[in-house]
Structure 1
Amino acid sequence: MGVGDVSKRILLGRKLRSSQLGETLLPKRIALPVFASDALSSVAYAPDEILIMLSLAGASAYTYSWQVGVAVAVVMAVVIASYRQTVQAYPSGGGDYEVARTNLGEKAGTTVASALLIDYVLTVAVSISAGAQYAAAALPVLSGHEGAVAAGLVAFVAALNLRGVRESRAIFAAPTYLFMLAMGAMVVVGAVRWWSGNLPRAASADITIVPHEGLEGPLTTLALVFLLARAFSSGCVALTGVEAVSTGVPAFRRPKARNAGTTLLLLGLIAVTMMLSVIILAREIGVRIVDPSDRDRLFLDGAPVPEDYDLDTLISQIAESVFSGFPPGFYFTVTVTAVILLFAANTAFNGFPVLGSILARDGYAPRAFGSRGDRLAYSNGIVALAALAIVLIWAFDAEVTRLIQLYIVGVFVSFTLSQLGMVRHWTRALAEERDAAERHRMMRARVLNAVGLTMTSLVLVVVVVTKFLAGAWITILAITFFYVVMQAIRTHYDRVSAELAADEEDKVLPTRVHAMVLVSKLHKPTLRALAFAKATRPNALEGVYVATDGRATSALMAEWDERDIDLPLKVLHSPYRELIRPIVEYATEIRRANPRGVVAVYIPEYVVGRWWEQLLHNQTALRLKGRLLFQPGIMVISVPYQLQSSEAARERAYDDDTRVRPGDLRRGDVRDRR
C-alpha cells in the first residue's frame, strides 16, 4: 500500500462494498439528531437575531420579542406540516427540487436547486461561525480568530462525513441529545428560579442601548411594522434545515416516508419549545444584545462600554444567570451549544451531496457529483460544500449577523416553489383518484400545502423587502449564477449526447489505416510497440523518429539497418529541436491526404511503481497525447512497458485486495481471495 493509500485509509477508513449500502441506513433515534441538528441548533442564534433587530429601537423594543417568536413558531408549524406531505408523496430524496421539477417544470426545478445549494453552503457557514463565537465565549484566547477556527472546523466536519454516515452517526447523535439535555435543564432551572423569585438579572441588564439613528423616540406605526418585519425575517432562520429531512429520506430505514415524517414532527416540537423558552428567559433576566458592529450604541452608567467589554451570545448570558453559583452548568451549556452548532453543519453535509447527485443524474451538475466514494458517501459533493463554505467564512470573517442577511432568501424561495408544486401535485392526483377516502386525504393535504404556500410566499416578500440592501441581493445574484451555470451544464450534456448518438454512418469502416510507431531509440518498449502495431495489420506501418541531433540520428538509422527491421523508418527533421510539433504536423498531413482514412499513432510508455518515477518518464508522451487527441481522424494508442518497479506496486495492490483484516469475518467480508 502506497503513502497515498495509507493516508486515505487513515483519514477515511476501510473501503465499503456497494452491497453494504443498506448498512448505512438510519433508525429514527439516529436520524433525528443527524438531520434535525441544523433546525435545533438555530435556537442558538435565531433568538439572538430577533433581539438584535429589535435593539435598533432600543431595549424597550424587546417587549415585542415573544410576539415575534410566536409568529416564527406558527410559520414553522405550518411549514413542517406541509413537508410531512412532501415526504409522503416524494420519498425518493429529491425534496423541493423533485417537487418543483415534476410539477412546475425544468426551470422551476433548477431555480429551487440553485436556492437549496446556496442554502446548504450558508447553513455550514452560519452554523460553524456561530459555533466559533460560542467557542470564543468559553475560551477567550480564541477571540479575534473566529474565522480561522471556523475554517478548521469546516474541514473537520467534512472529514467526518467523508468517512460515511455509518461510522460518524454516533458522533453526530451524541452532541444533539446533549444539547437537548442542556437546553432542557436551563429552561427548567430558569423556570423554577423565576417562579420562586430568585432568578438573577443578566450581566448586561444594566447596559443602555441607544436607538439607531432615525428610530429615536416613539415609533410611527409604519416604522414599528417595518422593525417587527425585520426581526421576524431574521428569526425565520429557525426554519432552516427543515427541507434537509425531505432530501434525506433515502437515508432512513423502512418505512422511509413514515420515519421521515415522524422525525419532522419531533423536530418541530422540540425546536419551537426551545426557541420560545429562550426568548422568554431572555426577557425575564433583562439580556441586552446588539450587532457587534453597533457597540458604539452601548452605554454603561452613562459612559460608552469599554473596548474590552465582551457582550456574549444570548444563550451564554442566560446560562450564566440561570446557573449562577453552579459554573459547571454554564460551561456544559456553552460547550454543547458550540458543539451542536459545529455538527449542525452536518445537515447540509447530508443534503448538499445527495442533491448534487440528483442534479448530476439529471444533467445539471458534473457527473462526478453522482459517484460514491470509498465509504459510500458522495465525496465530491462533500468536498465542494466544504470549499465553498470556507470561502464564505473567510469573506465575512465568520460574523453570523452579516451572514444571516444572506441566509433565508434561498430557504424561502425553495419553500414557496415547493409548496406551489405540492398544490399542483394534489390537484393532478385528485383528477385521477376515485376513492372517496383517498380523495378526502388528498384534499386535506392540498389545503395544508396551500396554507404553507400562502405563508411562505408572504415571508419571502418580507425577507426580500427587509433584507435586500442588507445583503439579500448577494444571495439573489448567487442563485442566478448557479441557475445559469446549471443550465449551461445541461445544455453541454445535451449537445454532447446529440453528437454521440449512433447512426448508420458509424458502421462504415475507414478506407485505410496508416499506422506509425514513435521511436526515440531502439529498446524493448519500441520493439514491443512495433510488434503490436504489426499484429493489428494496418494498411501502412512505419516507424517515426524526430531528428534533433545529427549524430544520434545516424546512430539510430545504422542500428535500424543492423537489426534488419522490415519496416520503413521516417525521419522528421526538427531544426528547432521540437519533438511534438513535427509529429502532429506529419500525422495531420497524412490524414488530410486521405480524409476517409485513419492515422494510428502508437506511443511506447513506461509503467513505473513510484510516484516520483512518473515525474522522470512519459512527460513528452503526455504532452503529445494532449495535442493529438484534438486532431480528428487520428487515433492514439499507448503501448505500456512495465519497468521492474511496477511489479512492487502490483504486489502491493494485490496484497491490499487479498489480505484478511481484523473484523472481516464478523462483517461477512471473508471470501475466496485466491
Structure 2
Amino acid sequence: MVSTLKRWLIGRPLKSTELGEQRLNKKKALAILSSDALSSVAYGPEQILLVLITISAAAFWYSIPIGMGVLVLLLALILSYRQIIFAYPHGGGAYVVSKQNLGTYPGLIAGGSLLVDYILTVAVSVSAGTDAITSAFPALHAHTVSIAVVFVILITILNLRGLTESASILAYPVYLFVLALFILIGAGLYNILTGGVSPGLHAPIGTPVAGISLFLLLRAFASGSSALTGVEAISNAIPNFKDPAPNNAAKTLMAMGAILALLFSGIVFLAYYYGIVPKAEVTVVSQIAEQTFGRNFMYFFIQGTTALILILAANTGYSAFPLLAVNLAKDKFIPRMFTVRGDRLGYSNGIIILGFLSILLILASKGQTEELIPLYAVGVFIPFTLSQTGMMIKWIRQKPEGWVLKLIINTTGALISFTVTMMFFLTKLAQVWPVFVFLPLIVYLFNRIKKHYEAVSEQLRLTTCEPAVPIEGNVVILPVAGLTHVVEHSLNYAKSLSADQIIAVFVPFEREAGAQFEEKWSKWQPDVRLVTLHSPYRSIIQPLSKFIDVVQRKASESHYQVTVIIPQFIPKKGWHNILHNQTSFMIRAHLLYRKDVIVTTVPYHLKK
C-alpha cells in the first residue's frame, strides 16, 4: 500500500541513464531558479517604505535614489555571479568559491548560511504567498499556518516527482506573474502620463525632510536589498542545466537580472508616485493594483499571480538546497545520505529535509515570518560578501587575461555586500542576532561530522587497522521462548554452522515455568545444552546480556567467537507486527552495540 501511494504521488522510478532528460533548458531554469529573486519584488520595495515611514510619508521620495542604489548592487552581483559560473562550472556557488580561495572556515560559513537561508526561503516565501491570499480574502486570516503548511507539502511532493516535471508545472505561474506585473507597471505609468493620478499624492523629489539621516537611509537601503535574495541560486545549480551548462546558466542569470531590475524599479516608482503607505494586512503591490484597476478581475489576477510566485519562490530553495548539500556531503561535512539520488533522480533526502525543517519554522513562527526577512536577507548577504571576496583573491593570485576589470566588479560587489551586511547587524540586531548563535553551531557540527568520517575511514583502512584476531572456534547462543517451528528453524541453522558449542537460553519469569520448560527441552533436544536464567524483574535482555558477557569472556581466552542467533517470525502482513511484542527486535538492537559479539537473525515467515 505504501509503495502504491508513493508511485501515485511521485511517479515511476527513473533509470540512471535518464538523468540527461532531467536537465533544464533556459526557459524552465529561469522559472525555477529565478522565482525567489523575482518574488522578492513583492516585498522588497515595501521594506524600504517601512523604514522611511518612521520619519514621515514625506520621506518616501528617498525610495527613488535608494532603489537606484539597489539596482547598482544588483548589477554588481549579476556580473560577479556570471564570472563565478564560468570560473566554477560544476556549481557550488559561494561555498565552493569561499572554500577554495579563502579557506575551509569561510567556506563553511558561506555554506552554512546558505543552507539556513534556503530553509528561510521556503518558510518566508510560502508565508508571504499566504499573506497575499489573505489580503484578498481576509476571512482566511485565521487559517494562515494551515494554508502555508499545505503549500509546503505540495511543493515538496512536486519536487520529489523530478526537476523537469516540477519545472514544467511551475513555469506557468512564474511567467504569469511577470506578465501581470508588467501589465500593472504599464497601466500605472499610463495613468500617470495621462493625468489619471494626482501629483499631490506624493512629496516631490528633493523635498527637505526633518529627521532624515545617512544612517536611516543606509538602513532603508539594506532593507530594500532583501529584494536581491535568490540571485545566487543559479550559480549553485549549474549541474541542473542542459549542455553547455555554464553558457545556459550565464544567459539565464542575465535574463533574471534584467527582469528583476525592471520589475523592482517599476514597483518602487509606482509606490512613490501613488503615495502608498505600507499597511499590516494589505501589501504594497495589492494597494497599487487596487488604485490602478480597482477590485476587478485584473486586481485579483495580479493578487493571484503574486500569491502563486511568492509560494513558488520556495522552489528556488528546493532546487539549490539539495545541490549545495551534495557539495557539503562530498566534502564530508554533512551526512552522505544527501548525495543519494531518489527514484526520480532528484536528491530526495535533501528535498524532504528541507520541507520538514521549513514546516517546523512556519509552525514556530505561527506563519508570521515578517520578522524573519532581515535574518533571511543577512543569511544571503554573508555568502555574497564571502564569494565576492573569494573571487577577488582568485583574480589577484591567478591574474588571467582581463583580470583587472573582473577584480573591479568583484571588489564593488564585495564592498556593497559588506556594507549591507553591516547595516543589518547595526540596525536590525534584534532580528538577526540568531546568526551569531546558529552559524558557530553549524560550523562546529560540520567539523564534528568531518572528524567522524575521518575517524571511520582511518579505522577501516587495511593499512592502518589493527590486525584481525584469529578465530579458533565458534560458540552459538540461541535465545528461545518455547518449542516452536521458529526455534526449530533457528536451531537447524545453528547446527549447520559446525559450531563447537550451541547453548540454548530460556528466560522464565517464574521458576515453575523454567522447570517445566527444561523437562520438555530435554525430551525434544537432549543433545543441545539449555541454560535457564530466572528473571524476577521480568526482564529478558538484562539476564541474557549478563550471560553473554560471561560466555564471551571465557571464549575470548581461547580465541573463540560468540554468535547470538535470534529467532524471529515474520507476519504475512506488515500491520500484524503491532500485535506482537517485538522481543527479538529489542534483543538485536541491544546486542548490536556489544563488542566482539556477532548477531544473526533467522527469520521464519508465516503463511497466514
TM bin (shorter chain): over 0.9
Taking the aligned partners of 1:473 and 1:189, their CA distance within structure 2 comes to 42
- 1:265 equivalenced with 2:254 (yes/no): yes
The one-character-per-residue Cα deviations of 1:603-639 (angstroms, maximum 9, x if unpaired) are 1111223122222346111111122122211111001
- Residue 174 of structure 1: CA displacement? 0.4
1:38–1:344 CA contact under 8 A, matched in 2: yes
| Alignment CA distance shift 1:350-1:462 (3 Å) | same
| Alignment CA distance shift 1:175-1:583 (3 Å) | same
- 1:42 equivalenced with 2:40 (yes/no): yes
2:191–2:197 CA contact under 8 A, matched in 1: yes
- Residue 280 of structure 1: CA displacement? 0.8
Shift >6 Å, 4+ stretches: none
What is the identity, as a one-letter code, of the residue corresponding to 2:311? L
Q: Of 261, 282, 306, which residue of structure 1 is paired with 2:271?
A: 282
Taking the aligned partners of 1:342 and 1:361, their CA distance within structure 2 comes to 31
2:511–2:534 CA contact under 8 A, matched in 1: no
- Residue 522 of structure 1: CA displacement? 2.5
| Alignment CA distance shift 1:126-1:200 (3 Å) | farther
Taking the aligned partners of 1:348 and 1:51, their CA distance within structure 2 comes to 27
Instruction: List alignment gaps of at least 5 residues for structure 1.
Output: 209-216, 293-310, 431-438, 646-674
- Residue 120 of structure 1: CA displacement? 0.8
Residue in 2 aligned with 1:490? Answer: 450
- 1:468 equivalenced with 2:438 (yes/no): no
The equivalences for 1:23-102 within 5 A come to: 23-102=21-100
- 1:499 equivalenced with 2:459 (yes/no): yes
2:37–2:228 CA contact under 8 A, matched in 1: yes
Give the structure-1-normalised TM-score.
0.85
| Alignment CA distance shift 1:504-1:379 (3 Å) | closer
Residue in 2 aligned with 1:119? Answer: 117
Residue in 2 aligned with 1:161? Answer: 159
Residue in 1 aligned with 2:236? Answer: 247
Taking the aligned partners of 2:188 and 2:580, their CA distance within structure 1 comes to 71
- 1:422 equivalenced with 2:391 (yes/no): yes
The one-character-per-residue Cα deviations of 1:549-595 (angstroms, maximum 9, x if unpaired) are 44543443334333455322222233333222121111111112233
Taking the aligned partners of 1:579 and 1:166, their CA distance within structure 2 comes to 53
Residue in 2 aligned with 1:391? Answer: 360
Taking the aligned partners of 1:356 and 1:564, their CA distance within structure 2 comes to 56
Residue in 2 aligned with 1:455? Answer: 416
The one-character-per-residue Cα deviations of 1:335-386 (angstroms, maximum 9, x if unpaired) are 1011010101100111112212222222211222222222222222222222
Residue in 1 aligned with 2:219? Answer: 230
Q: Of 575, 582, 606, which residue of structure 1 is paired with 2:543?
A: 582
Alignment partner of 1:560: what SS? helix
2:185–2:266 CA contact under 8 A, matched in 1: yes
Q: Which moved more, 1:172-181 or 1:151-160?
A: 151-160
- 1:316 equivalenced with 2:276 (yes/no): no
Residue in 2 aligned with 1:666? Answer: none
Residue in 1 aligned with 2:298? Answer: 329
1:525–1:641 CA contact under 8 A, matched in 2: yes
Alignment partner of 1:143: what SS? helix
What is the identity, as a one-letter code, of the residue corresponding to 2:517? L
1:245–1:264 CA contact under 8 A, matched in 2: yes
Residue in 2 aligned with 1:256? Answer: 245
Q: Of 471, 475, 478, which residue of structure 2 is paired with 1:514?
A: 475
Residue in 2 aligned with 1:601? Answer: 564
- Residue 484 of structure 1: CA displacement? 2.1
What is the identity, as a one-letter code, of the residue corresponding to 1:636? V
2:514–2:534 CA contact under 8 A, matched in 1: no
| Alignment CA distance shift 1:266-1:626 (3 Å) | same
Alignment partner of 1:242: what SS? coil
1:115–1:410 CA contact under 8 A, matched in 2: yes
Taking the aligned partners of 1:575 and 1:277, their CA distance within structure 2 comes to 80
What is the identity, as a one-letter code, of the residue corresponding to 2:43? Y
Taking the aligned partners of 2:389 and 2:72, their CA distance within structure 1 comes to 19
- Residue 188 of structure 1: CA displacement? 1.3
Taking the aligned partners of 2:259 and 2:465, their CA distance within structure 1 comes to 63
Alignment partner of 2:346: what SS? coil
Taking the aligned partners of 1:553 and 1:530, their CA distance within structure 2 comes to 19
Taking the aligned partners of 2:171 and 2:489, their CA distance within structure 1 comes to 59
Taking the aligned partners of 2:394 and 2:336, their CA distance within structure 1 comes to 29
What is the identity, as a one-letter code, of the residue corresponding to 2:262? T
1:117–1:352 CA contact under 8 A, matched in 2: yes
Alignment partner of 2:437: what SS? helix
The one-character-per-residue Cα deviations of 1:193-218 (angstroms, maximum 9, x if unpaired) are 2111123689xx69x9xxxxxxxx95
| Alignment CA distance shift 1:51-1:539 (3 Å) | same
| Alignment CA distance shift 1:559-1:79 (3 Å) | same
| Alignment CA distance shift 1:185-1:504 (3 Å) | closer
The one-character-per-residue Cα deviations of 1:236-293 (angstroms, maximum 9, x if unpaired) are 1111101111111111000101111111101111101111111111111221115x3x
What is the identity, as a one-letter code, of the residue corresponding to 1:55? I
Taking the aligned partners of 2:466 and 2:288, their CA distance within structure 1 comes to 76
Residue in 1 aligned with 2:19? Answer: 21
1:597–1:633 CA contact under 8 A, matched in 2: no
- Residue 50 of structure 1: CA displacement? 0.7
- Residue 105 of structure 1: CA displacement? 1.8
The equivalences for 1:358-377 within 5 A come to: 358-377=327-346
2:45–2:268 CA contact under 8 A, matched in 1: yes
Taking the aligned partners of 2:186 and 2:428, their CA distance within structure 1 comes to 35
The one-character-per-residue Cα deviations of 1:515-564 (angstroms, maximum 9, x if unpaired) are 12222222222222222222222232222222334454344333433345
Taking the aligned partners of 1:468 and 1:564, their CA distance within structure 2 comes to 75
1:110–1:483 CA contact under 8 A, matched in 2: yes
Taking the aligned partners of 2:572 and 2:160, their CA distance within structure 1 comes to 27
- 1:480 equivalenced with 2:478 (yes/no): no
What is the identity, as a one-letter code, of the residue corresponding to 2:445? V
What is the identity, as a one-letter code, of the residue corresponding to 1:359? L
- Residue 43 of structure 1: CA displacement? 0.6
The equivalences for 1:123-272 within 5 A come to: 123-199=121-197, 219=210, 224-272=213-261
- 1:568 equivalenced with 2:529 (yes/no): yes
2:473–2:560 CA contact under 8 A, matched in 1: yes
Residue in 1 aligned with 2:603? Answer: 640
1:118–1:475 CA contact under 8 A, matched in 2: no
What is the identity, as a one-letter code, of the residue corresponding to 2:594? Q
Q: Of 528, 547, 552, which residue of structure 1 is paired with 2:489?
A: 528
- 1:347 equivalenced with 2:316 (yes/no): yes
Alignment partner of 1:145: what SS? helix
Taking the aligned partners of 1:359 and 1:589, their CA distance within structure 2 comes to 45
Residue in 2 aligned with 1:435? Answer: none
Residue in 2 aligned with 1:630? Answer: 593
Alignment partner of 1:600: what SS? strand
Taking the aligned partners of 2:525 and 2:130, their CA distance within structure 1 comes to 75
Give the structure-2-normalised TM-score.
0.94
Taking the aligned partners of 2:603 and 2:199, their CA distance within structure 1 comes to 78
Alignment partner of 1:135: what SS? helix
